[in-house]
Amino acid sequence: MLGTRPLLQLAADLASGTTTSRELVEQALAVIEAPGGEGSRAFLSCNADRARVEADASDAMRKAGAVPSPLAGLPVSMKDLFDVAGEVTTAASPTLADEPPATRDSTVVARLRAAGAIVLGRTNLTEFAYSGIGINPHFGTPRNPWDRARGRIPGGSSSGAAVSVTDGMAAAAIGSDTGGSVRIPAALCGVTGFKTTVGRIPLDRVFPLSNTLDSAGPLAPTVTCCALLDAAMAGGDVWASNTALPIRGARFGVPTTIVQDGMDDTVAAAFHAALDRISEAGALLEDIAFEPFADIAEVSAAGGILGAEAYALHRDRLAAKGNMVDPRVRTRIERGAKISGADLLDVIEARAGIRSRADAIGADYEAILMPTVAIVAPPIGDIVASDELYAEMNPFILRNTTFGNFLDRCALSIPIHEPGEAPVGLMVMDRTGADAHLIRVGIAVESVVRRF
């Protein structure tokens, strides 16, 4: 299936003539349009005609010897935060449906097109990207590929992005990560997600949530796939540096502070089995107290930087159209009104000290290893039926990933579950700006923990 095949394998098939870009696009469109499938919930819009034209053009260019990158001719999906020329960016909110169409592509979209990728359409998300659950009452919630009969949450906010990959609606997807919105759906749905260091990938013409914390990143089958997409979006050399770091002798820190609390049996079993495999491969694992995590939880209890910036962005919109917003999202945004300027300055000052302490603790390790999410995906129906359960589950699901955003670190979520079992992600977190190093570490870790 399209979304489970590594991008370099698809690129090799295109190069050999085994398939064509048009055939890949048609495969993706067939899944998107399949009756009873998740296409109508995963995608908010799909420009099938344009995708076919671009695929035919890519095939013609390939015959002429013009192949701009390994992404050439591959269909990708875009989270509905990124401007695409001629289309309205809605952030999955009816409050933005009447906004004028974008006049040009965001830099992310433009760079992917320049690399030859085919942008199929815009994927669903939690309204305004403000939740780790992935539920959207306006446009539906795409169901997690695991236990689909019962219907489990996909994780958020990049819900449609993850499902577009798992179901073969796209070869890969582009999402955003402010508190875990790439890594959470990647972990819960069983794909790889890459949270990049803030500022490496330009966010012009991308609908914001927090100017301080927002980052863009890919969801794809493997770490190498993510590196390919990252290289195109960042215009850098992460892909050129993607040889695996030797895992024998590598040192990894395993935090015992907070991030392992509340793990369910499935996550605990998968996490400890992955650590065992990494150790058996010759890496050195060390349990470490990571007190900065406790400090982050304390200083962010009132909403922190994200709460303040989200409220500043949306307060006028809520005043004018608040009745159109998902009440659960609106309630979270409105909490930001209680954060004073002095409170925000306190958090900003505290953040600098916490980051410094975290850097000192992590300096001796190649990366930090922890569960991406402490539980497997709960049923959609249970969350929808209970405001109390939603209020409990949302911060719990966001807990581990949010630490990386506060520290402005780069991080991967790598699938570690057994085939057919509930998806579980291993988070591999590296230092600020160490994205190229993280890719090398991630490829090495993936080679020993991935079970399918």
Q: What is the pTM of this model?
A: 0.98
Q: Specify the CATH number for the domain of residue 159.
A: 3.90.1300.10
pLDDT for the residue 149: 96
Domain membership flag for residue 259: no
Span 334-347, mean pLDDT? 95
DSSP 19-66: S-HHHHHHHHHHHHH-TTSSHHHHEEEE-HHHHHHHHHHHHHHHHTT-
Span 286-297, mean pLDDT? 97
Domain membership flag for residue 231: yes
Residue from 93, 157, 164, 215 carrying the catalytic annotation: 157
Each residue of 106-141: pLDDT tens digit? 999 999 999 999 999 999 999 999 999 999 999 999
Domain membership flag for residue 116: yes
Contact predicate 176/79, CB 8 Å = yes
Residue from 21, 79, 159, 176 carrying the catalytic annotation: 79
Identify the H or E element spanning 295.
helix 291-299
| 79 has catalytic annotation | yes
Each residue of 396-437: pLDDT tens digit? 999 999 999 999 999 999 999 999 999 999 999 999 999 999
- Is the peptide bond preceding residue 340 cis, with omega within 30 degrees of 0? no
- pLDDT above 70 covers a percentage of the chain that reads 99
Domain membership flag for residue 303: no
| 176 has catalytic annotation | no
pLDDT for the residue 220: 98
Strand partners, 379: 152
Q: For the chain, what is the domain count?
A: 1
pLDDT for the residue 237: 65
Each residue of 176-195: pLDDT tens digit? 999 999 999 999 999 999 99
Domain membership flag for residue 136: yes
pLDDT for the residue 242: 73
Domain membership flag for residue 413: no
Domain membership flag for residue 347: no
Domain range holding 150? 2-241
Residue from 181, 210, 300, 413 carrying the catalytic annotation: 181
Contact predicate 376/164, CB 8 Å = no
Domain membership flag for residue 160: yes
| 157 has catalytic annotation | yes
Span 366-394, mean pLDDT? 98
